[in-house]
Amino acid sequence: MPAQTLSFRRRALLLAALAVALALLLIAAYALTREDEAQGDQTKVTLFMSYVPSVQFAPVYVAAQRGYFADEGIAISFENSFNEADGVERLANNDLQFGIISGEQVVLARAQGRPVVYVFEWFHRFPVGIVSPARLNITRPADLAGRIVGVPGPQGASYIGLRALLNAAGLTEDDLSELRSIGFAAPENVCEGKVEASVVYIVNEPLTIQQQCTEVNVIEVSDYATLVANGLVTNEQTVRDKPDLVRGMVRAVQRGIADVIADPDAAFDIAVTHYVKDLPKDQYETQRQVLLNSVKLWHSDALGQTNPQAWAVTQDILIEAGLLSAPLDDLSACYNMSFLPEQS
């Protein structure tokens, strides 16, 4: 075949390839433009959540995947962090507008003049308890006397939960053999016998200990004290300037929780398919149980509604623990339930 013919065909093929590439780029650019236009009328919101992406956050994943945030004109994204205090500070400064924050952190923040506001109660039972090997027969708070008890540290929901349990039994930290700070390593410390009991998050850590070493007993804080657990938190500026945005966030989260309660299997599939993609499949059965354990803590006849008495109890425990010097001037300023949909 003549060299000129070969050269012509190569040029033709090259031009065709370039044309296809250009067409693909134009299609991609058009798609991105359409996506930007679709989000142009939506308000971008980053939802702060502690810990790491987990099936425990399935309600907001379901709300995102099923378009509940979009229905409210919200383009949602998620941020996870172990530093809850940083999330609270950013909420107070309006660098963030929304976060999932524990109730005691709201009280402590308000005591420091931080204008954060709790607008929706996600957990209606406090997610903290005491786990211990079943053979030790530690089944009630009074049984902690004389025991070595582990706790992540002398702050946060875990510590407040412990203080509430001790208070229920008329005990103090001095009645323990030792209160040992162990970080978030309860399974290792319990299984290795370094502590006799440990403060844990009840949805997952007792299950881990059972799988790794021994049958357990669990004392749940909510069986002895009504404390304010995790909920949707915003700030006074957002409440004042963007009430419809707050109302939309509340509605979307409430719909997500209701869906997960109604069909946790479908919610699990959404979580692991779209948001917790790196979860090993050999962990699916365990994490499915973690989700079911979580659902038990979310149940309520009035999803999202908080209990004013729980705020008073939480404040009292904070004062008794020495984390709060005096009662707030207006404890009710910590929460605002006016954004909840009317119960049908």
Query: Rounded distance, CA 235 to CA 93, Å?
Result: 8
Query: Rounded distance, CA 133 to CA 102, Å?
Result: 28
Parts of the chain with a pLDDT under 70: 1-40, 343-344
How high is the pLDDT of residue 32?
47
How high is the pLDDT of residue 3?
46
How high is the pLDDT of residue 35?
46
The domain spans of the chain are 43-125+228-334, 128-223
Query: Rounded distance, CA 312 to CA 310, Å?
Result: 5
Superfamily of structural domain 43-125+228-334: Periplasmic binding protein-like II (3.40.190.10)
Q: Do 43-125+228-334 and 128-223 show the same overall fold? A: yes
Superfamily of structural domain 128-223: Periplasmic binding protein-like II (3.40.190.10)
Q: What is the pTM of this model?
A: 0.85
Convert the pLDDT of each residue in 75-126 to its tens digit: 999 999 988 999 999 999 999 999 999 999 999 999 999 999 999 999 999 9
How high is the pLDDT of residue 141?
98
